[in-house]
Structures are given as structure tokens and as C-alpha cells.
């Protein structure tokens, strides 16, 4: 009898355990279904966000243009390799074209004045480029996506490029006309 009671108890426990396993399995299935639905919804939302990001401009081009504008403005003030080469070339041309018997004023103008003006022209060209790129960068949001705001740092750097371009252009005109550091008189 005791053996039958133990066997019956074991059978009852096995049946109960099997019933509990089935219930847990059903609960797991029920919980997995909403979780799978959430995963699918999350994937759809992430896909929509990724598509929206791909469609919307990131502003990288505007930031790069602002930095280029500021760099061109700095180059217009400090001088460039191209301006230095142009000045050296103009100096050489002035030396070759000036006759031995030419007056001192004519020699100064041919050798130094023309080189100075070549440097001023290249500085003015870089300043004008800085000014144009800066203005276009600042005006770009007006022609882009409505409601899209330009990052403040892009505006600041673009304004710096515009300012440096204006200053560089002003100095280039002063150098070219001889108002700023003009040639000495030969009299």
C-alpha cells in the first residue's frame, strides 16, 4: 500500500508538473506575441526615422562651406602661395622688360609696383571668393526645406568668412591703388 501511495503521489506530481509546464508554455507564447509585435513596430519606426534622415539634409555641406569661407578670408589677409608666385613672376618680368637707361621711377614701378599690385589682385580674388561663399552659405536656408533652421555655429563661421572677405577686399583695393603702403617717390 505504501508503494501504491508513493506511486500515486509521483504520478500526481508528474501530472501537476506537466500541467504547470503547459501553462508556462502558453504564458510564454502569449508574452512573446506582444513582444514580437513591439519588435516589428520598433523596426518600422526605426526604418521610417532612417528614411526621414536620408531625405532631410544634414547641414554638412553648409558647415563645410562656412569653414571654406572663413579659410579663404584668412588667406586673403595673410597672402597665398599663388599670390607670392604671381608677385615673383611679375618682379622677374619687370626686371626683364625694363631698359638699362630707364628712369628710377619707371624701374621701381616695373620691378616692385607691378609685383605689389599682383599680390593685391590675388588677395582681392581670395577675399571676393570668401565673401561669395559666405553669403551663399548664409542665404542657403532661404532656398532649402521650409522650417529647417541652420545651426548657429554655421552662421557664426559664415559671418566670420563674410567679415574677413570684406576686410580682405578693402585691403586689396587699398594695396592696389597705392593708398596702403604705396611705392616711394623717386624724386
pLDDT of residue 183: 78
d(CA 45, CA 41): 6
pLDDT of residue 27: 52
For the full predicted model, state whether its pTM sits above 0.75: no
Q: In this structure, are residues 145 and 59 in contact, taking their beta carbons and an 8 Å threshold?
A: no
Q: In this structure, are residues 84 and 123 in contact, taking their beta carbons and an 8 Å threshold?
A: no
How many CB atoms sit inside 10 A of residue 166's CB? 16
Per-state percent for the chain, helix, strand, coil, to nearest 5 = 85, 0, 15
How many CB atoms sit inside 10 A of residue 181's CB? 10
C-alpha cell at 75: 588667406
pLDDT of residue 38: 59
- Cell 638699362 belongs to which residue? 100
- Torsion angle defined by CA atoms of residues 134, 136, 141 and 142, in that order, rounded to the nearest 10 degrees: 130
Instruction: Provide φ and ψ at 146, rounded to 5°.
Output: -65, 140
C-alpha cell at 16: 501537476
- Torsion angle defined by CA atoms of residues 96, 102, 104 and 110, in that order, rounded to the nearest 10 degrees: -30
How many CB atoms sit inside 10 A of residue 127's CB? 25
pLDDT in tens, the chain (187 residues): 555 555 665 655 655 555 555 555 555 455 555 555 555 566 655 666 556 555 556 788 899 999 999 999 999 999 989 999 999 999 888 888 887 777 888 888 888 888 899 999 999 999 999 999 999 999 988 887 777 888 899 999 999 999 999 999 999 999 999 888 877 776 6
pLDDT of residue 112: 86
Q: Considering only CA atoms, which of 56, 63, 57, 60 is closest in space to residue 137?
A: 63
Per-residue b or e along 42-58, where b marks 16 or more CB atoms closer than 10 Å to that residue's CB: eeeeeeeeeeeeeeeee
Amino acid at each position: 500500500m505504501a508503494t501504491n501511495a508513493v506511486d500515486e503521489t509521483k504520478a500526481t506530481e508528474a501530472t501537476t508538473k506537466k500541467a504547470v509546464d503547459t501553462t508556462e508554455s502558453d504564458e510564454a507564447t502569449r508574452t512573446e506575441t506582444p513582444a514580437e509585435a513591439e519588435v516589428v513596430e520598433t523596426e518600422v519606426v526605426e526604418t521610417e526615422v532612417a528614411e526621414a534622415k536620408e531625405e532631410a539634409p544634414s547641414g554638412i555641406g553648409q558647415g563645410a562651406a562656412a569653414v571654406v569661407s572663413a579659410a579663404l578670408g584668412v588667406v586673403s589677409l595673410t597672402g597665398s602661395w599663388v599670390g607670392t608666385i604671381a608677385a615673383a613672376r611679375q618682379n622677374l618680368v619687370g626686371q626683364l622688360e625694363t631698359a638699362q637707361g630707364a628712369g628710377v621711377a619707371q624701374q621701381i614701378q616695373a620691378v616692385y609696383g607691378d609685383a605689389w599690385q599682383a599680390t593685391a589682385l590675388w588677395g582681392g580674388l581670395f577675399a571676393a571668393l570668401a565673401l561669395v561663399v559666405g553669403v551663399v552659405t548664409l542665404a542657403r536656408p532661404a532656398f532649402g526645406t521650409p522650417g529647417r533652421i541652420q545651426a548657429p555655429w554655421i552662421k557664426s563661421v559664415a559671418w566670420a568668412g563674410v567679415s574677413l572677405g570684406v576686410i580682405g577686399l578693402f585691403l586689396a583695393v587699398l594695396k592696389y591703388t597705392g593708398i596702403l603702403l604705396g611705392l616711394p617717390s623717386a624724386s
